[in-house]
Structure 1
Amino acid sequence: MSHRVRPLKIVVAAGLAVVAGAACSAPVPPRAVAAASAKPVSPPVLPAPTGAHPVGTAALHLEDTSRPDPWVPEAPVRELKVTLWYPAQKGAGPPAAYMTAKESELALKGKRLTGVPYDLLSRTRTHAVAGAKPAGREGGLPLVVLSPGFTNPVSTLTSLAEELASRGYVVAGIDHTYENYATTFPDGRVADCVACDSDSDSGFGTKTAGVRAADVSFVLDRLTGTAWEGSGLINRSKIAMVGQSMGGAAALAAMVKDARIRAGVNMDGTTYARMPGGMARPFLFLGSSGHAPGGRDNSWDRDWKLLTGWKRWLFLPGGNHQSFTDIPLLADAAGVAVPGEVSAARSVELTRTYVLAFLDRHLRGGRAELPSSPEVTIARPR
């Protein structure tokens, strides 16, 4: 099947703030956008990061000229948007955009959420300062790569990214082009979800995890080179990857492909990568009840036996698939019910706590065991 690249142009009203998250909305005629909600909806506000460092953010546009785009073969290069969060020098500045108004509209339409203003996500409040000067000593900052769930932009992991940056990590969030509803490039083009046309194909998960693994290796090449003004601050021997859903599958696939990634976290993602010789690097499974041992998804049971290094398997019986993202927070603000017994604020707190503890242990030489919580169960598979 061939796919056409859709070079949509962004049209944003003057003065409109672009600070948004990910929720969903059914298509309505353009004139109805302003009246899409029956009542006013207050913009979502992300929880503030708790670390000692101010947080800055910047976006990179990278082109991998060594391969055509895997979803749009007529595109001769693979284009990627990478969002960075990092410890920053002190200084005032406007909070960064969560996403643009157009991205918000396309995401809401793609998710088919009704009764929500299309620009809601572009008004979500973040805490990172756009374009702030990076801070740190040469080679002193560990690097964490983030990969989002399929159809979700990496902005849906902003709460986690800001927290990690405030604790002294450089965070590189990858928008895997054509795998979410809207990725905006510097020249105004918006890449939509071409891969959504193929998500029922046999082998789709394996292909997508492999595409993302290649994306990650390319981004590591560039970030540890000269692609960013703060590249010299990155400690090249301390790199980890964290992903949710398909991003979690990609974390394992990327580790199999690229030995530079020392540790990984899969947040509620079915895995597809094969480990013929096993893998001895640290790995954390952090899932919802569907990923309890012997649950409906047996990929973790299979891979657990092949992980021969430090490993833990945790799950939230009261959580759901999106509990590890910003989406419950955004849904709360929109008045949309999210399944599960763990509140949106608490799910963000738990995700931050466990991911940070894992990274501190394996990238910073910590020895503390992961914390305990009444909402989190430790799986003990046979």
Structure 2
Amino acid sequence: MRIELQHVSKRYDAEAPSVQDLSLSVQDGELMTILGPSGCGKSTTLLMIAGIFPPSQGDILFDGHRVNNVLPKDRRIGMVFQNSALYPNLNVSKNIQFPLKNMGVGRKERIQRSEEAARMVQMSEYLRRKPSQLSGGQRQRVAIARAVVKQPGLLLLDEPLSSLDANLRGNMREEIRRLQKELGITTIMVTHDQEEALSMSDKIAVMNAGQLQQIGTPLQLYNAPANWFVANFLGMPAMNDLACTWRTDGCLLVTETGQAIPVNGGSGLSALRQDQPMRLAFRPHQVSLITSADQYRDTDVRGRVASVEFTGRERLVHIRVGHTAIKVYADMTEALDEQQEIALRLNVDYYLFDRETGENLRLPVVSSQPKISEIGDMSFVKQAAYSL
């Protein structure tokens, strides 16, 4: 089932819109994750797709047919909630059969389909157990089986893993992705957990304050964030940034150190004004540590080691550049001590963001061809310069 949202908004009374002018499409068989912080409008969007909330404006289309006024029970959807929402007085088999019973499916077929659904989520041995006799992960498996037993065209997942511990979340991510691919069901998931989104999704739609920020594959969003919000929201540890200003001779002046760093490339640099505030940004793996003073370059950013964190196969080095905290990965062979003076040598793939608008100014120029570009769909707040 192909899903389209066309300029969808949702308002509650006179409040600011919970969702504002949202347009996106999900292809048949695709797993799309709507990702964002609490209160960004992602769950409201999911509930509008489900038919539980009507949109204040705009259209929702299933396979090209407008469904704004179609009841949830008639939308061919299956839904999984955060807390599994199983009936405590029914065993696993009867919980899975429940929607089929409401649909008027005969007893023999109900049993057959529920057993098949239980097998797909590896719960065949627990059909006679009550929900209270299951672990959290097992209850979510039952909830997923109950959602897919109806053979829906669309599966909706509302933060399905947030109540599970870390080990269970990892296992359930794999289970959901395996099942979704096996069945070929179009799936829309909402979460605030970037790890879930990056590991499970074909596409991710990032939202903030009710507005769409960017759509693309996990790799596109991670490597070419459209703006500072997307860049800072994706990635653990978060992206580093140094305050700086633009000089019209093509250099950045780093506020903390007073260094001038030449900048090459980027479609948005020509219109910058003198002393325009910027962010020089980079991920922890996009920098080299220089420990020997005789190897320093004028463009290296100087700092001091604040602490070193052991993470297993590598170390995370906390560095102070003036008053700014920076995190950088280092291998186990680097000799590093607290308060040691050190230099940061940026890789060529660092980022440059306008501090006022948040725009990424070092994105490659996008072709006008009507296909997904290498940086994804960049139609984010008030900027439609990049599109499919």
TM-score range, shorter chain: under 0.3
Which has more helix, going by share of residues?
A: 1
Which has more strand, going by share of residues?
A: 2
**TM-score under structure 2 length normalisation:** 0.24
Q: Which has the larger radius of gyration?
A: 2
**TM-score under structure 1 length normalisation:** 0.24
